[in-house]
Amino acid sequence: MDRDSQIELVRSLTKVVMEAIRPETMTTFAEDFGVAAISGGQVRAEEGLAVHHPRSQTLDTTLVAGMFFQVLREAEKLPVSTPERVSFIRRQAKSYLATRLAGQIPLSQFFRLLNLIEENAQSYFEEARGSWVTPKPAQAKPPAPAPPEEVVQAKPLRQALEALPLLPGGRRKLTHSALEEFLRETGGNWFRLIDFEARFGVNKKTAWAYLHQLQHAGILKHNGEKANKVRYMVATSLQR
């Protein structure tokens, strides 16, 4: 007799026995016997056919975890305390099981999932698992970083500019304080002639005249290049 015939014979005999001694199990007999047959297990009356393949257990656990996660996603506002949150998640997961999966899964699996929800809600979402159901503690904002120290020395620069007579007929924007502000903003970096023109709204000739005057007074230094490669910088003696 081949294995399939053996299994069918055992199934028929077992069904007759179970109908006589455990009629309440007949609603799930076909499923339970199939699981036992696939797993190679022996069907025994005293076990109530409650042996499940590990794969089925993994599937049940995954389904329950998915329902817990779905409850969290759909919840508009969770209760404050951890016990209340666990109770809420357990209740909503059962409701999800009844409304979404009833009729889609065997009755035996339905009750297995129901038991898993009841037993595992706390262990899934206990405080040690992180902040899923535990309110996150308020985190103090890190202190704002200290502003970087200004490279250009303000006081020596101001004194050097005040000692410098501005070109006659200069524009209103080109005051000692305006020049000081611009040069401090460069942060000791190189800048171009066009940067000076744009800042003070002067033409190239006027801009060059002022920068040449500042260079001659030792306030600026030149990079030694020509034409478009020319750059200026606050003199090293006026930097920190």
Residue 231 has pLDDT above 90, yes or no: yes
Q: Which residue has the higher pLDDT, 58 or 156?
A: 156
What percent of the chain stands above pLDDT 70? 68
Q: Which residue has the higher pLDDT, 79 or 188?
A: 188
Residue 81 has pLDDT above 80, yes or no: no
User: What is d(CA 26, CA 18) in angstroms, rounded to the nearest whole number?
Assistant: 7
pLDDT tier, 200 (very low <50, low <70, confident <90, very high otherwise): confident
pLDDT tens track for 140-151: 777 877 667 788
Q: Which residue has the higher pLDDT, 74 or 46?
A: 74
| Highest mean pLDDT, choosing among 18-32, 145-159, 225-239 | 225-239
pLDDT number for residue 47: 36
**84-98, 100-114, 125-139, 163-177: which has the minimum mean pLDDT?**
125-139
Please provide the average confidence, as pLDDT, over all residues in the chain: 75
Residue 64 has pLDDT above 80, yes or no: no
**75-89, 120-134, 137-151, 195-209: which has the minimum mean pLDDT?**
120-134
Going from the C-alpha of 16 to that of each of 5, 9, 11, 13, 92, the distances in angstroms are: 17, 11, 9, 5, 40
SS3 string, the chain, reads CCHHHHHHHHHHHHHHHHHHHCHHHHHHHHHHHHHHHHHCCCCCHHHCCCCCCHHHHHHHHHHHHHHHHHHHHHCCCCCCCHHHHHHHHHHHHHHHHHHHHCCCCCHHHHHHHHHHHHHHHHHHHCHHHCCCCCCCCCCCCCCCCCCCCCCECHHHHHHHHHCCCCCCCCCCCCCHHHHHHHHHHCCCCCECHHHHHHHHCCCHHHHHHHHHHHHHCCCEEECCCCHHHCCEEECHHHEC
pLDDT tens track for 93-131: 888 888 777 777 777 777 778 788 877 777 766 544 455
Average pLDDT over residues 169-188: 81
